Amino acid sequence: MSDGKNRRVVLVSKDRDFLRDTRAAFASSEIITLVSIEQNMVDLRNEIHDLEGAAVIIDMDASRLDEIEALQRIMRRLGDTVPVVVVTQEFSASAVRILVQLRVADFLVKPVTTADLVRSCIRALQGPGREENAEARISTFMPAAGGVGTTTLVLETAYQLHNSTLRGTSTCVVDLNFQQGSCAEYLDLEPRFDISEIENQPERLDRHLLDVMLSKHESGLCVLAAPNAPTEMRSFNTDVVVRMLDLVAAYFDNVVIDLPRTWFPWTETVLLGSNNLYVVAEMTVPCLRHTQRLVRAIQETTGKSIKPKVIVNRFEQRMFEAGIKQADVEEILGDHFIGGISNNYRLVRNAVDRGVPLHEIDPDANVIADLRKIILPEEAEAAATKQRGLLGVGRKWLRKAG
């Protein structure tokens, strides 16, 4: 999967609704092309094999012997290299045993949510060995001051991770600014996370309810955000936050969290559960000083198990004659300073006003390149090397020509 190639998946089903939903679910995938065979799987001969898919989804009734025999035939013909995902009507212990013995990559019982099916397929394509790092990567962004650009960086990070071939395929943004979040707004989505519904019984929040409460962006990004309630003072308990993050982490490859400035009783739990913690700051003396204190406080409360990385947004190489310089930033923050993000008012403003992600305005924008160096250093480096290579060749060619 990490080669970024498009993969063909063959779907066999005679269930019209299922075919339609599945086609719709895969339509936006940049990784998978779905080819469907609308037939009873018992009648198939070489059709599946001839389509040379990288994986196969078979919709069948695993309680029927003739269908199991047909599955066996199909799998024998496909050999060991093409994973088969079975979607079955019936669910019985004996059917499960047979499917396990046949070594299907996965089996799902109808009704199947398309999200489960997509995940299952992607996992099948990735093959065994993915299990070890199957856990979600959680990146948390915490502002060191108001309006420093946290939400802007959260959303673009989510999008970049979502489209990174190395980082899996599903991404969820979680806006923990329950009172006045702007993640949904920035993407022109309707926030659908209804806290009051689960406030007193967090165990009610299950996969199904989560699905209802997610807002889905056309890019494939999911956003968990609550509608704004400017006049309410909302404080809710740690259980709800933990339950919500556990669920999200179980179903997504990447989770990107937008934290509020205020330190809540659950903040520490969120920090401890994160793989990467970015503190977003700006280039003023008071903000950098505050950042320094914040970093220290985080390290004290989390027992140094978390190393905050500071991103300085709206970074200027030379602010003013007497202003702050990169050397000052480095001196104040030490090795917590991980990088700066260019100041690009027009780009960011334009994106926010139009309710679209930054890259839609300009995929080559300096803000995006700066951010990628921080969140996807390997990929950014690889791209830079390639670019240098091209330039090198170009120069040589020019020299010859001249």
Ligand X SMILES: Nc1ncnc2c1ncn2[C@@H]1O[C@H](COP(=O)(O)OP(=O)(O)O)[C@@H](O)[C@H]1O
Interacting residue with ligand X among 349, 354, 388, 395 (CB under 6 A): 349
- CB of residue 223 to Mg ion, shortest distance in Å: 13
Interface stretch with ligand X, choices 30-38, 145-153, 215-223, 389-397 (CB under 6 A): 145-153
**Residue with CB nearest ligand X?**
149
Touching Mg ion, residues 157-176 (CB under 5 A):
none
Contact of residue 148 among Mg ion, ligand X, none (CB under 5-8 Å per partner type) = ligand X
**Residue with CB nearest Mg ion?**
151
b/e string for 282-318 if b means 16 or more Cβ within 10 A?
Answer: bbeeebbeebbebbeebeeebeeebebbbbbbbbeee
Residue 92 burial class via C-beta count within 10 angstroms: exposed 0-12, middle 13-18, buried 19 and up: exposed
41's CB contacts (< 8 A; 6+ apart) are 12, 58, 59, 60, 67, 70, 71, 74
Interacting residue with ligand X among 163, 165, 299, 343 (CB under 6 A): 343
Are 105 and 83 in contact, with CB atoms under 8 Å apart? yes
150 binds ligand X (CB under 6 A): yes
Q: Evaluate the CA torsion angle 46, 47, 51, 53 in order and state its sign.
A: negative
Interacting residue with ligand X among 56, 99, 148, 257 (CB under 6 A): 148
Q: Which pairing describes strands 215-216 and 222-224: parallel, antiparallel, or unpaired? A: antiparallel
Are 304 and 271 in contact, with CB atoms under 8 Å apart? no
Task: Map residue 258 onto helix, strand or coil.
Answer: strand
The whole-angstrom separation of Cα 375 and Cα 161 is: 8
Are 223 and 217 in contact, with CB atoms under 8 Å apart? yes
Interface stretch with ligand X, choices 88-96, 124-132, 150-158, 269-277 (CB under 6 A): 150-158
Interacting residue with ligand X among 22, 182, 215, 267 (CB under 6 A): 182
348 binds ligand X (CB under 6 A): yes
Q: Which is nearer to ligand X, 123 or 217 (CB)?
A: 217
Q: Which is nearer to ligand X, 254 or 344 (CB)?
A: 344
Touching ligand X, residues 351-380 (CB under 6 A):
352, 367
Q: What residues make contact with ligand X under the rule CB under 6 A?
A: 143, 146-152, 182, 313-314, 341, 343-345, 348-349, 352, 367
